[in-house]
Structure 1
Amino acid sequence: MQLNIGKVTAPPAPDSLLKVYGYYRVILSSALLTMYLTGVATRILGAEMPQLFLGTVSIYTVLCLLSLISLKIYRATPGIQMLFFMLLTDMVAITLMMHASGGLESGLGFLMLATVAAGSILVAGQLALLLAATASICVMLETLSTGMILGQSKESIFPAGILGILLFATALLFQVLTQRIRLAQTIAAEKAIESEQLQQLNESIVKRMRTGIVVVDRQDNITLINSAAIQLLGGQQPGKPLGAGQPLSLIMPLYQQLDRWKTYRWLRTPTFKTPSSSIEIQANFTSLHQGEDKQTLIFLEDTRSLSQHAQQLKLASLGRLTGSIAHEIRNPLGAISHASQLLAEQATDSSQSKLLDIVQRHCLRVNQIVENVLQLSRQKIPAFQKIWLRQWLKKFRNDYMDTQKTPCIIEIETINKDIQIFFDPGHLSQILTNLVDNGLRFSEQATGERWVRLVVCRDTASELPFLDVFDRGPGVPFEDQNSIFEPFFTTSHEGSGLGLYLAKELCGVNYASLNYFGEEPENRHFRIGFSHPDRVLPRPQS
């Protein structure tokens, strides 16, 4: 991805360098004034014209102080005209003080080198050479005037020429160095902008990734966590906010996984669930060595996507198996069923009728098992649709009750306003039919009344919709709760043991989950946890 980086130009006078030069001017002028007033260098400073030297250095000191104060008060960078005026003031002041002190012999002319060097840094291009030329002219004019007024020898013209050459050489040298420094600053500024944009891009990618990302430091404190990780871990909980600076021990299952990984890094970490979420999570860990601060990067994956791939492989194998044996099972099964029906027409003994009835019921049971297995192996890609759940449940209730021979009660409760889900309507009807059949049957056995309640709600932490199915039955025994979704597990003599297994598989195909909550005797129910309708990408049609 190519980043758009705007053109970066270095300012004509960097504030830091300009302030340094401003302090230099104040220190220089103050030092010259102090040395003159204290008589430290009376033979050099103002030796020829004391009044001119005192007036010049006094005015120069005041101007330097005023310019430094203006730089402090007005933080904006002064323009080229202001900079050129300051440098020209320095040249004129140095020239007058040099003239008042006896010319080049005083040594004050070499202060021009600092002024020209500063000018080459603060202004660019031909202006730097103009400053050098101006300084050279000032030196030559002072030398000529000193020779004419004071009657000095013309031999001082040669040192003035040498100083002029040094001034030009200084201007050229510092101009080249300044150009390189400005080029380096420009490149550094571009790299800084590019780095900032890349950092913003990385943060945006991490924030929008479907994979959960958590980074913890050496003390197992969270330094980074994205929204996908917060959602997978159950969302923000009251009193336990998930964010940078929080200890990972707030999420005890993940903290235990990290501690296990630190000890046994070669072992694959098992999946886990958090108390506030029903999603099975696979965590992967990797070390990030950044100097002394060793951080750990944690990837959190929703195992439902992995389960989809495994299920496709399983269904393909199951389809090949069932396709080859269904014919072999149904033929003898049909013959047994037909023979038992013929015997039932001729039987007169009640004991024979009872035995034949057993044969018929088990034939139907085996046939139902074959039908369920075939149905499972022939599952097609879900026809996803956005469904308003409450409206759809009302239609499902009407259709379901029309097929029942005995009266039943199906209550629908919506805690929030109507909720939209992303699901295959045919699969949802098949799943609910199985759950409602079981609920009505167990309610009737316990209370004599066929009753279920469907509750539609949305999780406040993860904002994911779910549907709870309640009944008045005794509930699933605790020892059987981990086995009810296994194939061919049943507690009924008439069931095939594939109903709940098939329902859970259909939920998985639709990026949903099916779980049983049986911890509280008065609140036992099945829950279908739906995915977010706007965050699921349906499989491509093949």
Structure 2
Amino acid sequence: MATDTVSAVSAGQRTPGLQQAKLFRIYNHYRVVISLMLVALLFVDPVNFDTRFRLLDYYQLGVVGYLALNCFVALVILAGFQPGQRHITLSILLDILIMHGLLFTSTGITNGLANLVIVSVAAGNILTPSRMGTFYAALAAICSLSISGWAALTLDGQGDDIVRAGSLGILYFAAAFVLQNISRRMMRSEALATSRAQSIAELEQINQQIIQRMRTGILVLDRHGQLRLANAAAEELLFGTPTDARPSASRSHTLPQPLKAGLEAWLKNPEKRTEPFQPAPTSPLLQVNFTQLDQKRGDQILVFIEDMSKVTQQAQQMKLASLGRLTAGIAHEIRNPLGAISHAAQLLEESPNLDKGDKQMLDIIRRHSRRVNGIVENVLSLSRRKPANADLVDVAAWLKEFKTDFLQTQEKTKPPTDIAVKITPGVPEARFDKSQIEQVLVNLCDNGLRYSQQHCGVRKIELRAGATADGERAYVDVRDFGPGVAKSASHSVFEPFYTTDQGGTGLGLYLARELCESNQAHLSLVEDDQPGCCFRITFAHPGRMI
């Protein structure tokens, strides 16, 4: 801060700033007024001028020329010219010399124009608080003494004029020293204020950028729950449509009912922690915390909104660490006996003495052996999963490519597989690990095709890519034409080992959601009036990922 202040002061001494230019314009207005008054005085009692003035013609010429000069400078400044330091210095020097020239051609140092020289010296020291200001005082003193000395030697002037000139010289130097000190202090104060204002503006800009770019949502509410301010993350998490940070834009939103209920509960009991909630079925799980913005007044409440995705990621890492230790035992303790059971069933199947009931029992053994093996494989794949390696992906092009690759694996299926892809214009890009999200899509597509075939006899699904309401996040829908999911089971479909298919393991959707969460995407069941079942993958904002 001290370095910035010194730099600002030095810069102000070298080149005039905006304040200096403004002061010079004011001073030039004063010069125009003074020159107009001097010209006006020429028309007042012109007869006595001939007897009292030494060189009346030169005096009149000097007054008119001084008016013309000041008017010209005023017009140039009015046209937008920014005076530099040399222009200010030249103007002050001209003022001192012209004023003494008028004193010389009029009645000498006793003329009232000598008081105007003090104003010029003072203005010079305000506009140039440096050694140049002392030079103005010295020049004015030398000119005043010269005029008085010349008058005393050539015109038999009184000695009092020399004393008056010396007194004026003392006034010039006194004004220079006093005003220089005052001007320097003012410039230091102005430089310090400018530096601090710039620092505050930069800090405010940094804070604004941090608050608007951070993933934590921030709301400012009054005690009645009225929204006063919200950052982009809060708009995105709560409403899905981030706006700018203006209060008028934020106040147009209505708080979700769970957040209102949490606020009312917190106002009654500040020690109570608000339960996590979802503003919408496709939104991530949110955790809110309340605090008083002003502890003394308490009329505004600050709300922090945390996306539970980060907590979920940490929990996933802990689960993966535990599963890594568990799967070693699973692979040995379950798969080996399971392999022995499957092998024994194959040997028993080769026996020629099996009746119909024995064959049914063998079929049950094989089917459930495959199911248990599938469960083990899914758990092993979960524990062996590598961290997501996210890339910036063009969702529309990637989805079309996925359809082509997936259909190549379905060429021998009967009835044939039908996949419709619909792309909404303006789908934004997203960051995710393509291999992991493709694994999720394969699982969803397999489920959708199976349930569509069971319900209506055709293997048909629909893939749709679009943008969320804010236009900044992409999503992908997988819709089948099966019987759909009952409302009573809509909250259980992502639980591990929950399945409605007798041959399923109940881990497919659970693993799909785990993979989405590791990519900061959200897998949800869309509840609408359309036939079948629709699962949506909502990707995170590509610029605000953890």
Normalising by the smaller structure, the TM-score range is 0.7 to 0.9
Equivalent position of 2:177 in the other structure: 172
Post-superposition offset of 1:349: 5.8
Post-superposition offset of 1:486: 0.4
Whether the aligned pair in 1 keeps the contact of 2:227 and 2:255 (CA below 8 Å) is no
- Provide the rounded CA distance (Å) in 2 between the counterparts of 1:90 and 1:178: 24
Post-superposition offset of 1:368: 3.0
1:392 matched to 2:387: no
Structure 1 residues 133 and 30: CA distance shift in structure 2, 3 A? same
List per-residue Cα deviations over 1:414-449 (Å, max 9, x = no partner): 3258997655555445433432333233223322x1
Post-superposition offset of 1:483: 0.6
Equivalent position of 1:42 in the other structure: none
Whether the aligned pair in 2 keeps the contact of 1:390 and 1:419 (CA below 8 Å) is no
Q: 1:120 aligns with which of 110, 113, 125?
A: 125
- Provide the rounded CA distance (Å) in 2 between the counterparts of 1:444 and 1:162: 112
Post-superposition offset of 1:317: 1.2
Structure 1 residues 139 and 215: CA distance shift in structure 2, 3 A? farther
Equivalent position of 1:133 in the other structure: 138
Trace 1:44-443 onto structure 2 (pairs within 5 A): 49=52, 60=63, 63=66, 67=70, 70-71=73-74, 73-78=78-83, 79=87, 80-94=89-103, 99=108, 104=110, 109-123=114-128, 125-144=130-149, 147=152, 153-154=158-159, 157-193=162-198, 195-197=200-202, 199-206=204-211, 209=213, 211=215, 214=218, 216=220, 220-221=226-227, 223=229, 225-226=231-232, 231-232=236-237, 236=241, 243-244=245-246, 245-248=248-251, 250=253, 252-253=255-256, 256=260, 259-260=263-264, 263=267, 265-275=270-280, 278-283=283-288, 300-330=305-335, 333=338, 345=351, 350=356, 354=360, 357-382=363-388, 388-402=398-412, 404=413, 406-416=414-424, 423-424=432-433, 426-443=435-452
Whether the aligned pair in 2 keeps the contact of 1:124 and 1:175 (CA below 8 Å) is yes
- Provide the rounded CA distance (Å) in 2 between the counterparts of 1:288 and 1:486: 40
Structure 1 residues 91 and 303: CA distance shift in structure 2, 3 A? farther
- 312-321 vs 286-295, which moves further: 286-295
- Provide the rounded CA distance (Å) in 1 between the counterparts of 2:438 and 2:178: 85
Whether the aligned pair in 2 keeps the contact of 1:222 and 1:247 (CA below 8 Å) is yes
Equivalent position of 2:460 in the other structure: 452
Paired letter, 1:371: E
- Provide the rounded CA distance (Å) in 2 between the counterparts of 1:442 and 1:269: 39
1:479 matched to 2:483: no
Paired letter, 1:440: L
TM-score, normalization: structure 2?
A: 0.75
Q: Which runs of 5+ in 1 are unaligned?
A: 40-44
- Provide the rounded CA distance (Å) in 2 between the counterparts of 1:175 and 1:326: 89
1:15 matched to 2:21: yes
- Provide the rounded CA distance (Å) in 1 between the counterparts of 2:517 and 2:505: 21
Equivalent position of 2:477 in the other structure: 468
Q: Which runs of 5+ in 2 are unaligned?
A: none
- Provide the rounded CA distance (Å) in 1 between the counterparts of 2:119 and 2:107: 15
- 315-324 vs 288-297, which moves further: 288-297
- Provide the rounded CA distance (Å) in 1 between the counterparts of 2:295 and 2:58: 62
Aligned to 1:452, what secondary structure does the other structure show?
A: strand
- Provide the rounded CA distance (Å) in 1 between the counterparts of 2:513 and 2:236: 22
- 184-193 vs 114-123, which moves further: 184-193
Considering only aligned residues, what root-mean-square deviation do their CA atoms show, in Å?
Answer: 4.7
- Provide the rounded CA distance (Å) in 2 between the counterparts of 1:160 and 1:258: 83
Post-superposition offset of 1:118: 1.8
Aligned to 2:465, what secondary structure does the other structure show?
A: strand
- 508-517 vs 139-148, which moves further: 139-148
Paired letter, 1:278: S
Structure 1 residues 323 and 143: CA distance shift in structure 2, 3 A? same
- Provide the rounded CA distance (Å) in 2 between the counterparts of 1:130 and 1:231: 65
- Provide the rounded CA distance (Å) in 2 between the counterparts of 1:120 and 1:441: 91
- Provide the rounded CA distance (Å) in 2 between the counterparts of 1:51 and 1:150: 10
List per-residue Cα deviations over 1:174-233 (Å, max 9, x = no partner): 3344344445444554555555555555555555x352555647595555634x555545
- Provide the rounded CA distance (Å) in 1 between the counterparts of 2:33 and 2:430: 76
- Provide the rounded CA distance (Å) in 2 between the counterparts of 1:77 and 1:364: 87
Post-superposition offset of 1:74: 4.1
Structure 1 residues 152 and 435: CA distance shift in structure 2, 3 A? closer
Paired letter, 1:409: T
- Provide the rounded CA distance (Å) in 2 between the counterparts of 1:292 and 1:162: 62
Structure 1 residues 295 and 21: CA distance shift in structure 2, 3 A? farther
Post-superposition offset of 1:129: 3.4
Q: 1:529 aligns with which of 496, 515, 538?
A: 538
- Provide the rounded CA distance (Å) in 2 between the counterparts of 1:419 and 1:203: 25
- Provide the rounded CA distance (Å) in 2 between the counterparts of 1:186 and 1:478: 68
Paired letter, 1:444: Q
Structure 1 residues 86 and 289: CA distance shift in structure 2, 3 A? farther
- Provide the rounded CA distance (Å) in 2 between the counterparts of 1:143 and 1:274: 90
Paired letter, 1:497: G
Whether the aligned pair in 2 keeps the contact of 1:135 and 1:164 (CA below 8 Å) is yes
TM-score, normalization: structure 1?
A: 0.76
Structure 1 residues 130 and 47: CA distance shift in structure 2, 3 A? farther
Whether the aligned pair in 2 keeps the contact of 1:486 and 1:501 (CA below 8 Å) is yes
Paired letter, 1:390: K
Post-superposition offset of 1:474: 1.2
Post-superposition offset of 1:459: 1.1
Post-superposition offset of 1:476: 0.6
Whether the aligned pair in 2 keeps the contact of 1:230 and 1:242 (CA below 8 Å) is no
Post-superposition offset of 1:315: 1.7
